[in-house]
């Protein structure tokens, strides 16, 4: 017997996973997606074809009962490969030995989740159904089909899982006391490609996330299973240099040659691609509330769109689904209790990862290429290896510690930052960083923090 009916607007990875969660708890679920079915029609051309999944994402999938088959097609990235302006290459490990973030196909994991959803007896998937309207009192929704006819879908509850440009969220703007902010970063981005070698192998080290940090801008490259790399250039929208200022072929050629000389041997027509593409903006969305009338909720990027510099967007959305999965059981299907509990549990963490993701642009584009920053990371890694109960570096807290909420990771990271500022201000730290007195002072400070 059905426990009720749900409409899920948005058939991306988070919407598909949410439909599976609800279906396995006994609800009848209608999953509606505005685009065509990617398993039938290619919809990812010209878009990012890979994303980073970390322990949080995998852990959430496991909590929901999804096998990690996707990991068989994923590529582990164990460190950042830092490409200096002078062409020198250095490595910054992500965590302890064996820790990795995983480059996965967005389309691949989406299609895997859709296949699982289709196999559930009480989930029906509908493609090329664009959301037009939502009744926030009844959870009824109107969709426009490909033939332009409108379909009214009645349900007991509805979730907007329709991404950073969420239609459900935009419709909620008309509701009283709905707080909304959208903040643009100075940077925009375009995607470039490094093709595979003729034999299908990778032109750069496969098991690394490659970064060309240049302070206000950077180029990154993530490996794909087919031997290619998806590259992203993050550059200011205006100013000098910027997407606005670089309009002529000669200027773009000079920009790439002076800043990414070692990448020019690998990139596929970077100048032509730069001039052809329109740069996409980067923005963060924060809203409150995340649910309305105990009938309609927001999840994933619809509730907390963030910038990609911590690689946590999908991981955070999957955690939303895992939290709902837990609450459905602990609240015994009482949605009057589940909606506010979900919002209370996830809203602070959505805000925290948004803040962390903004900060990480500075770390990736500027600090990662700085000698003192790299030294700081080495000191932290050495201390953490010696005293793991006292110190887990912030990146590991965010990426490899699914039991630590984002908000707690942010709090601990701020305390660690204050401690490391004291350590890095020690006289002769560049020469003495490996000396015992440095470890002793760091231990003293770490114990003070831990015992407050």
Domains (range + CATH), the chain:
5-51+106-181+283-360 (3.50.50.60), 370-450 (no CATH)
Full DSSP string of 146-213: TTS-EEEE--SEEEE---TT-HHHHHHTTSTT-EEEEEEEEEEEEEEEEPPPTTS--SS-TTEEEEEE
Instruction: Please name the residue ranges forming H helices in 265-334.
Output: 270-276, 301-304, 313-330
The CA distance from 228 to 72, in Å, is 17
Asked if residues 39 and 60 have their Cβ atoms less than 8 Å apart, the reply is no
Q: Are strands 129-134 and 217-223 parallel, antiparallel or unpaired?
A: unpaired
Residue-level pLDDT at 41:
81
Could you give phi then psi for residue 153, rounded to 5 degrees? -115, 115
The CA distance from 162 to 169, in Å, is 9
Residue-level pLDDT at 44:
53
Closest CA to 81 of 308, 268, 270, 263: 263
Asked if residues 155 and 140 have their Cβ atoms less than 8 Å apart, the reply is yes
The CA distance from 25 to 21, in Å, is 6
Residue-wise pLDDT for 358-392, tens only, equals 998 887 776 666 788 889 999 999 999 999 999 99
Q: Are strands 150-153 and 157-160 parallel, antiparallel or unpaired?
A: unpaired
Closest CA to 225 of 71, 97, 100: 71
Residue-level pLDDT at 336:
98
Spans in the chain with pLDDT lower than 50 = 45-48
Number of Cβ atoms within 10 Å of the Cβ of 73: 14
End-to-end CA distance of the chain: 53
HEC secondary structure over 41-90: CCCCCCCCCEEEECHHHHHHHHHHCCCCHHHHHCEEECEEEEECCCCCEE
Residue-wise pLDDT for 17-65, tens only, equals 999 999 999 999 999 999 999 898 876 544 446 789 999 999 999 999 9
Asked if residues 361 and 375 have their Cβ atoms less than 8 Å apart, the reply is no
Residue-level pLDDT at 48:
47
């Amino acid at each position: 017997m059905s426990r009720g009916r749900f409409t899920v607007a948005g058939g991306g990875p988070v919407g598909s996973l949410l439909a599976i969660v609800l279906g396995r708890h006994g609800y009848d679920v209608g999953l509606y997606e505005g685009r065509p079915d990617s398993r039938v029609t290619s919809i990812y051309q010209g878009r990012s074809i890979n994303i980073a999944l970390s322990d949080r994402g995998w852990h959430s999938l496991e909590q929901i009962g999804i096998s990690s088959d996707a990991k068989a097609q994923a590529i582990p990235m164990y460190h950042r490969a830092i490409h200096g302006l002078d062409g020198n290459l250095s490595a910054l490990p992500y965590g302890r030995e064996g820790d990795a973030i995983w480059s996965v196909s967005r389309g691949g994991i989406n299609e895997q989740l859709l296949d699982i959803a289709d196999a559930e007896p009480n989930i029906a998937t509908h493609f090329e159904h664009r959301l037009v309207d939502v009744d926030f009192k009844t959870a009824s929704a109107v969709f426009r089909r490909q033939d332009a006819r409108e379909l009214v879908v009645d349900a007991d509850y509805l979730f907007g899982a329709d991404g950073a440009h969420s239609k459900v969220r935009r419709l909620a703007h008309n509701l009283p006391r709905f707080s909304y902010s959208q903040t643009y970063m100075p940077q925009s981005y375009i995607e470039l490609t490094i093709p595979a070698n003729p034999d299908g192998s990778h032109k750069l080290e496969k098991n690394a996330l490659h970064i060309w940090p240049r302070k206000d801008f950077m180029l990154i490259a993530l490996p794909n299973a087919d031997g290619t790399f998806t590259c992203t250039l993050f550059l200011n929208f205006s100013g000098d240099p910027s997407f606005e200022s670089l309009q002529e072929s000669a200027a773009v050629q000079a920009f790439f040659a002076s800043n990414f000389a070692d990448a020019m041997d690998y990139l596929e027509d970077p100048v032509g691609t730069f001039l052809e593409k329109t740069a996409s903006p980067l923005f963060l969305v924060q809203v409150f509330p995340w649910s309305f009338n105990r009938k309609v909720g927001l999840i994933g990027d619809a509730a907390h769109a963030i910038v990609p510099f911590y690689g946590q967007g999908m991981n955070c959305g999957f955690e939303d689904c895992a939290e709902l999965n837990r609450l459905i059981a602990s609240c015994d299907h009482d949605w009057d209790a589940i909606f506010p509990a979900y919002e209370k549990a996830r809203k602070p963490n959505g805000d925290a990862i948004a803040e962390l993701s903004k900060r990480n642009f500075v770390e990736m584009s500027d600090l990662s290429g700085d000698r003192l920053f790299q030294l700081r990371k080495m000191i932290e890694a050495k201390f953490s290896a010696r005293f793991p109960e006292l110190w887990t570096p912030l990146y590991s807290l965010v990426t490899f510690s699914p039991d630590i909420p984002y908000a707690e990771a942010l709090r601990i990271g701020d305390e660690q930052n204050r401690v490391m500022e004291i350590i890095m201000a020690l006289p002769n730290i560049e020469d003495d960083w490996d000396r015992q007195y440095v470890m002793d002072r760091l231990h003293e400070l770490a114990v003070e923090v831990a015992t407050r």
